[in-house]
Amino acid sequence: MLAAGTKAPDFTLSDKDGNPVSLSDFAGKTVVLYFYPKDNTPGCSKQACAYRDHHAEFTAKDVVVIGISKDSQKAHTNFIAKYDLPFLLLSDPELEAITAYDVWHEKTMCGKTSMGVVRSTCVIDPSGMIVYAAEKVKPDADPLNVLAFLAQ
């Protein structure tokens, strides 16, 4: 994953409705960008719901939360509806942002090795710099850790 102190790479990905969304659309705002493996899996659902449950705290700080996975727009639509998620989920099937942020790595699960998204989160300041970077985050603790960082 890219380290704190790095300029955040810009990207343009589609939201659940197919609308293009670029990181540069949020210039001048603090952005929490979290990368996760797959919609509707236990850990990813827990993480998304934790961000949902703390969304008012992020909004109160004028912070934008964006989740990114390689899932389709349709999968995101269903995931958002199922859990009533109030923030953007972006679809990255071509791994544009996922590789730019260096969160696509070899993983081992149940003895099988494959490539996949490492659950990672970064905070991007209003000038576009990464000021917080965490890899292999715990799904339910991730939003709380980010809020604690933002409170500093």
Report yes or no: 45 and 77 within 8 Å, Cβ to Cβ. Answer: no
Query: Which is the catalytic residue, given 44, 49, 110, 122?
Result: 44
CA angle 71, 20, 73 (to 5 degrees): 25
Q: How many CA atoms lie within 13 A of 70 on its CB side?
A: 14
- 44 is known as an active-site residue: yes
Cα–Cα distance for residue pair 109/24, rounded to 1 Å? 35
Question: Is 54 strand, coil or helix?
Answer: coil
Residue 151, φ and ψ in degrees, nearest 5 = -80, -10
Catalytic positions, written as ranges: 44
